[in-house]
Amino acid sequence: METLALYVPRLLEKKENFAPGHRACSGCGEALAVRMVMKALGKNVIVVMATGCMEIISTQLPYTSWEVPWIHTLFENTAAVASGVVAGREALTRKGKASSRTKVVAMAGDGATADIGVQALSGALERGHDFTYICFDNEAYMNTGIQRSSATPFGAATTTQPVGKISMGQNTWKKDMPAIAVAHNIPYVATASPSYPFDLMNKVKKARDIEGPAYLHILSVCPTGWRTPSDLSVRIGRLAVETGVFPLYEVENGKYTLNIDPPQLRSVEDYLKLQGRFKHLTPEMIKEIQEKVEAKYAELVEKVLFYDGF
Amino acid sequence: MSKLTEIRWHGRGGQGAVTSAEVMGLSAIEEGKFAQAFPSFGPERRGAPVLAFNRISDSEHIRMRSAVTQPDIVVVLDPGLLGIIDVTRGLKEGGVLIINSSKSLLDIKSEFEGPWTLAVVDATAIAMEVLKIPIVNTAMLGAMVKVTGVVKLESLAEPLGERFGKLAEKNIAACRRAYDEVSIAAQGAVSQRPEKTFGEVTWPSWQELLPGGVVTDAGNARSYRTGDWRSDRPIWDHDRCIKCGVCMLFCPEGCVEQNEQGYFEANYYYCKGCGICARECWTQAITMVEEAKA
Ligand SMILES: Cc1ncc(C[n+]2csc(CCOP(=O)(O)OP(=O)(O)O)c2C)c(N)n1
Ligand code: SF4
């Protein structure tokens, strides 16, 4: 586990660039992640945000929680709009009216990233714009009431893959979005979790400062959609890492590093049993998930070791 | 002319006010009446005050589709709402106000007496005893049917059965107990509405908005109160606190602040009472205390 430095206040940026008064559910892990991201980013950024929970809860006219320039986009064009903002910034920089120190950060949910906006994202990563894209992955379309996305994990009950005689929840495995980002040969890809705040904030700063596209994938516990008590959001995020379900790693110019590497992975059951969306799982399904998690984790470790060899 | 009854339910997101309205509507249809049941939509999430509505007509189609603003019956599921929302707003003279509270009818009367019938039931206690969880919507249905007679108690059974499946029996029991236990005060002699003022938000008209809905006042959500979503509040024990600030780190609202002595406290204007701080505190210096008792 990340050793939480004692005396957080001395290490933590005081300023809240994501202001309270937002209307996220009580205990929302996604709002917590956005808050930490905004602490790390500082004030010199332009945020481009897809529709989804975080947009809805932070910008109810006439209110806004954003302390920085913020623009709302459609579902499918977040990365395209961010590309345009970057191009605009560069044109103005040439005229001496702006500075490339102003960073552009796109933010979107898992539905907006892995399904609907994936084409625009792929284009922007491949063209190599200097921007950061952050996916807040709460593993379903939460804003509209828990519909499955391609990032919903196997077995999870959603309103479109419910549990009953015919369906036992999501019947496909979670799409590996970070791997898709890595496949674009971009300088920086990382996974993060608000349960490991300093790791998360360091990665945000790294992504912000790197020239070229950076992709960050943040697992965000959603008590409403995951059917979990609101006080467990941070604990469940930690369990996702400790069980290997959501490993925290970075890929810098193709080089893999595992940031949190528990000496022994906990059983996935510890993670699954706390969540209402998994309560119907049979022992066989849990075994299947355990095997899949171990195999994926081993694959990751292999990549890390491969680069350690150099 | 046919009689139209309009009902407004006050609850919090996740408490089942919408289900109450649905079951009420279905029971009326069961009796051959016409009915509507619908929630009021907003961006508010779990814990936030929400409204649900019914229209019930004896014998005629209901053409109206708007929110109910002048209800005949108001039902309050959460006593915590009484201090923050004007639950009697628009309630018709001669109407009915039903409140879930552990207070006695006499106490409630001193605050909410008006030109309407007032009724009180301790639905939370009933729910805790019968269902073992503080979900009061089915108990409140029982109380409401007793006081108003909009539908018969028996008519609730089928919709409740369909809605709750395995848990139907217990919910029907909770319903029945509230039916028996609700205390009712006859219509108040006072014809005046109680004088209560609540913070009112004024909205800009559309003509005052900038093109594209641009908001120029960065971070102005700070003036928006989310603290009234809370049902439990975190309380810090300074003897145990080591001033590490983990509570501040993990607060999704960003509303935990350090005071001059170096201790931490939540800004209750925003705190939604999620309980993450209490769960994460290393020394267990934070306890969550029920709002009504804090
Ligand atoms: C093209 C399009 N389809 C559907 C919608 C409706 N919609 C708004 S938000 C949302 C869900 C967003 O889910 P996700 O991106 O996973 O973010 P989350 O709300 O879970 O944070 C949907 C379906 C829309 N705005 N645009
Ligand atoms: S539905 Fe989930 S992600 Fe959306 S605001 Fe609520 S807790 Fe957060």
What is the per-residue pLDDT across B194-203, written as a single tens digit (0 to 9) for each? 666 666 566 7
Mean pLDDT of chain B: 90
CA distances B278 to A236, A247, A248, B126, B232, Å, are 15, 26, 25, 28, 11
Structure tokens at B131: 């269902």
Rounded Cα distance between A28 and B276, Å, is 10
Q: What are residue B226's phi and psi, to 5 degrees?
A: -115, 0
Contact with chain A for residue B121, Cβ under 8 A: no
- What count of Cα atoms within 13 Å lies in the side-chain half-sphere of residue A71? 18
pLDDT of A272 above 50: yes
Residue (of B2, B1, B40) closest to B21 by Cα position: B40
- Ligand 2 centroid–CA B290 distance in Å is 23
**Hey, is B277 helix, strand or coil?**
helix
For ligand 2, atom 4, which residue shows the shortest CA distance? A53
For chain A, the domain total comes to 1
Predicted pLDDT of residue A152? 98
* Tens-place pLDDT, residues A144-187: 999 999 999 999 999 999 999 999 999 999 999 999 999 999 99
- Omega before A62 within 30 of 0, i.e. cis: yes
* Residue A112 counted as domain residue: yes
Interface A-B, measured as beta-carbon pairs within 8 A, has a size of: 146
Decide if A73 contacts A49 (C-beta within 8 A).
Answer: yes
Confidence of residue A1 (pLDDT cuts 50, 70, 90): very low
* Tens-place pLDDT, residues B97-138: 999 999 999 999 888 888 999 999 999 999 999 999 888 999
Confidence of residue B205 (pLDDT cuts 50, 70, 90): confident
* Tens-place pLDDT, residues B129-168: 999 988 899 999 999 999 999 999 999 999 999 999 999 9
* Tens-place pLDDT, residues A63-89: 999 999 999 999 999 999 999 999 999
Question: How confident is the model over A116-129, as a mean pLDDT?
Answer: 98
pLDDT of B45 above 90: no
Please state, as a whole number, how many other Cβ atoms lie within 10 Å of the Cβ of residue B8.
Answer: 25
Decide if A192 contacts A216 (C-beta within 8 A).
Answer: yes
Question: How confident is the model over A264-293, as a mean pLDDT?
Answer: 98
Q: How is residue B88 annotated by DSSP? A: T
pLDDT of A256 above 70: yes
pTM, 2 dp: 0.85
Decide if A226 contacts A146 (C-beta within 8 A).
Answer: no
Structure tokens at A274: 């706390």
Shortest alpha-carbon distance between residue B167 and chain A (Å): 17
**Hey, is B199 helix, strand or coil?**
coil
Domain of residue A143, residue span: 9-308
The gap from C-alpha A284 to its chain's centroid, in whole angstroms, comes to 29
Shortest alpha-carbon distance between residue B222 and chain A (Å): 5
For ligand 2, atom 5, which residue shows the shortest CA distance? A24
Decide if A260 contacts A148 (C-beta within 8 A).
Answer: no
Rounded Cα distance between A169 and A281, Å, is 9
Chain A neighbors of B229, CB-CB under 8 A? 26
Say yes or no for a CB contact (<8 Å) between A235 and B279. Answer: yes
Between helix B153-164 and helix B17-30 the angle, nearest 10°, is: 120
Rounded Cα distance between A188 and A68, Å, is 24
Please state, as a whole number, how many other Cβ atoms lie within 10 Å of the Cβ of residue B274.
Answer: 34
Contact with chain A for residue B165, Cβ under 8 A: no
Question: How confident is the model over B79-95, as a mean pLDDT?
Answer: 89
Chain A neighbors of B272, CB-CB under 8 A? 26-27
Sign of the dihedral through C-alpha A42, A43, A47, A52 = positive
* Tens-place pLDDT, residues B119-130: 999 999 999 999
The backbone region for A155, taken as left when phi is positive above 0, alpha when psi lies in -120 to 50, beta otherwise, is left
Structure tokens at B25: 């509507």
Predicted pLDDT of residue B186? 81
**Hey, is B64 helix, strand or coil?**
coil
* Residue A1 counted as domain residue: no
* Tens-place pLDDT, residues A13-51: 889 999 999 999 999 999 999 999 999 999 999 999 999
* Residue A2 counted as domain residue: no
Decide if B198 contacts B127 (C-beta within 8 A).
Answer: no
Any residues with CB less than 8 A from the CB of B271 and at least 6 apart, and which?
Answer: B226, B227, B230, B233, B234, B253, B255
Touching A: B residues 221-260, CB under 8 Å: 221-226, 229-230, 242-246, 248-255, 258
Rounded Cα distance between B285 and B265, Å, is 12
Predicted pLDDT of residue A215? 98
Residue (of B119, B224, B94) closest to B178 by Cα position: B119
Q: What are residue B207's phi and psi, to 5 degrees?
A: -70, -25
Ligand 2 contact, A140 CB (< 6 A) = no
| Ligand of minimum distance to the alpha carbon of A76 | 1
pLDDT of A192 above 70: yes
Question: How confident is the model over B225-229, as a mean pLDDT?
Answer: 89
Predicted pLDDT of residue A307? 78
What domains, with CATH codes, occur in chain B? Answer: 4-185 (3.40.920.10), 206-293 (3.30.70.20)
Structure tokens at A120: 């625009």
3-state SS of chain A is CCCCCCCHHHHCCCCCCECCCCCCCCCCHHHHHHHHHHHHHCCCEEEEECCCHHHHHHCCCCCCCECCCEEECCCCCHHHHHHHHHHHHHHHHHCCCCCCCCEEEEEEEHHHHHHHCHHHHHHHHHHCCCCEEEEEECCCECCCCCECCCCCCCCCCCCCCCECCCCECCCCCCCCHHHHHHCCCCCEEEEECCCCHHHHHHHHHHHHHCCCCEEEEEECCCHHHHCCCHHHHHHHHHHHHHCCCCCCEEEECCEEEECCCCCCCCCHHHHHCCCHHHCCCCHHHHHHHHHHHHHHHHHHHHHHHHHHCC
Structure tokens at B101: 């509270």
What is the H or E stretch that residue B134 is in?
A: none
pLDDT of B59 above 50: yes
ipTM of model? 0.94
Decide if A134 contacts A216 (C-beta within 8 A).
Answer: yes
Ligand 1 contact, A233 CB (< 6 A) = no
Say yes or no for a CB contact (<8 Å) between A21 and B222. Answer: yes
| Ligand of minimum distance to the alpha carbon of B45 | 2
* Residue A3 counted as domain residue: no
Ligand 2 contact, A24 CB (< 6 A) = yes
Residue (of A292, A260, A269) closest to A4 by Cα position: A260
Q: Which amino acid is at A173?
A: W
Q: What are residue A191's phi and psi, to 5 degrees?
A: -110, 150
Nearest CB to A234; choose among B13, B217, B276: B276
Residue (of B51, B54, B66) closest to B5 by Cα position: B54
Chain A neighbors of B218, CB-CB under 8 A? 64, 66-68
Q: Which amino acid is at A129?
A: H
**Per-residue DSSP letters for B217-264?**
STTGGGGS--GGG-SEEEEE-TTT-----HHHHT-TT--EEE-TTS-E
Q: Which ligand 1 atom sits nearest the alpha carbon of residue A112?
A: 15
Provide the CATH number for the domain around residue A200: 3.40.50.970
* Residue A4 counted as domain residue: no
